[in-house]
Chain A
């Protein structure tokens, strides 16, 4: 395997390919017929997934922190680079993305019936944006990709959504844009501060790390960044866009939204907020606020989920609860917690994605999302019911499924520092059963009361193909998460250690930063514009010129005259 990879110089092109090939795929989708567009999109994304699998081999857990790095100048004047690179955390986020895309597309073959070419083009555009976010090493580039994800999603919800799609799409857009604009201000401030010492301009992550900032500055910047990511996560109380967006979004939109887009927020916290503003991120008040918001999210979202009449909305709220565990894991600032949070992210992507797919399948059959319109489905659709039950159990973190590994580690890690918070968070396992089991019962069990449900077809072969890998992954990751944990550990450890004042010197991130050297030296140092020809008359400068000629009303001239 690694032989093939080496021979094809895999490491040098894979990240670029994963970012830009989806755009090439758009051409294919546009060139195909309305009917074939979905096949083209599926084949293309599936191919990309296969391609991305090579990352598992080419990424060396024992190697440097950031691998597959590349630097190229983009806007040299401002020090913006097209800089890519991944660590173990981004690795799995990228794999999750490339895996989710074909699944989401195949899972909704029948759901999207109009403007298909446009739809699949937007999905591919979305993939470019998401992979770009996870692979960017340059904050400017990151920001562009981060915003890029917003546009396709806005249209996906707004065009192919349900009845209140416009409201949901606008809410989604404004909520997230509000946050990210403040983040842009934060990025620019950071950039300016980093230049203040006379260093050449650079937006590169490693160059901006360790920028000297006062605690006050850090807190403000932390707030700007955290708001953007908290909205994306979403964290209580800025979560209300999510249920609306999920309910209105078409199935593949919901799947991608839950599986990957929410992870952008958590990823942002891990990659940027913690290391860039370590003093703010370890500030006791800040930590406590974030932990409390996370734990409130866990409990509160579980409660709200439990009383939802709409199945999709219920699952949407469970996302808030799950992401609460992620926030706990992150802000516990322990290795176990962070690793657990990361596993929750992956696990939530798989299980919630699968839940949305299943609800989409039910919607295709019955054109309703209301829980009470179902009941007794286990008798007519045993395969669907089996997949549903396994997915639901993975979602509530039954041991042996991926959900448990994540929640267990996250809570374990939180307990090491904040027992009370972890204690409250652990009640989430009770409330998870409290929201999930009634829904499972009302949809799958009880008597088959409605005649419409009696003739419901079971899973088709295509649907089995979609769900089987998801279900398999839930179990495999639950039983043997070691390959994932091992690869993520250096990345997670580097961040935790870097944020810890005491161990910063020894952390991998600090090593990467030092190795990167002084900021701004990564591009060949040449002037932005060719040498200016200068004034025709070398004795004249602009000011001189203006001052030399009387212009009516110019007071300075008057003074001279």
Chain B
């Protein structure tokens, strides 16, 4: 069981990663990040079966942080959208020196 779960987790993670890398739509990228987080959650839960309850414990942490992040992230995206009228990340390049 563990192997399958870990493989699924890996596939999900890779999909998320590729999504973040190739897509330009901020919302999609955001969703891909969520996908990555959940991929990790999956492996946590799977491994918890063998290594102790702490794995499941961390999943709650991740979910909490993900929720908080979603709130803040979406707020930023909305704010950006209001300013640029676009969610295409290529338009945003203020993050440099």
Interface residues of A (CB under 8 A from B): 533-537, 540, 542, 545, 548-551
Contact = CB atoms under 8 A, between A and B. Distances in A.
A545 B53 contact: no
A549 B2 contact: yes
A533 B6 contact: no
Contacts of A542: 51
A535 B3 contact: no
Interface in B50-71: 50-53
Contacts of A545: 47, 50-51
Contact of B53 (A533, A540, A549): A533
B3 A536 contact: no
11 contacts: A533-B52, A535-B50, A535-B51, A536-B52, A536-B53, A545-B47, A545-B50, A548-B50, A550-B3, A551-B3, A551-B6
Interface residues of B, number: 9
Given A549-B3, A549-B50, 11 more contacts: A533-B52, A533-B53, A534-B52, A535-B50, A536-B53, A537-B50, A540-B50, A540-B51, A545-B51, A548-B50, A549-B2
B41 to A, nearest CB: 18
Contacts of A535: 50-52
Interface of B: 2-3, 6, 47, 49-53
Nearest to B51: A545
A551 B3 CA distance: 7
Contacts of A540: 50-51
A536 to B, nearest CB: 6
Nearest to B50: A545
A551 B43 CA distance: 12
A546 to B, nearest CB: 9
B55 to A, nearest CB: 10
Q: Which residue among A545, A548, A550 has the maximum number of chain B CB atoms within 10 Å of its CB?
A: A545
Contact of B50 (A533, A534, A536, A551): A536
A533 B53 CA distance: 9
Contacts of B51: 535-536, 540, 542, 545
A533 to B, nearest CB: 7
Contacts of B52: 533-536
Nearest to B1: A549
A492 to B, nearest CB: 52
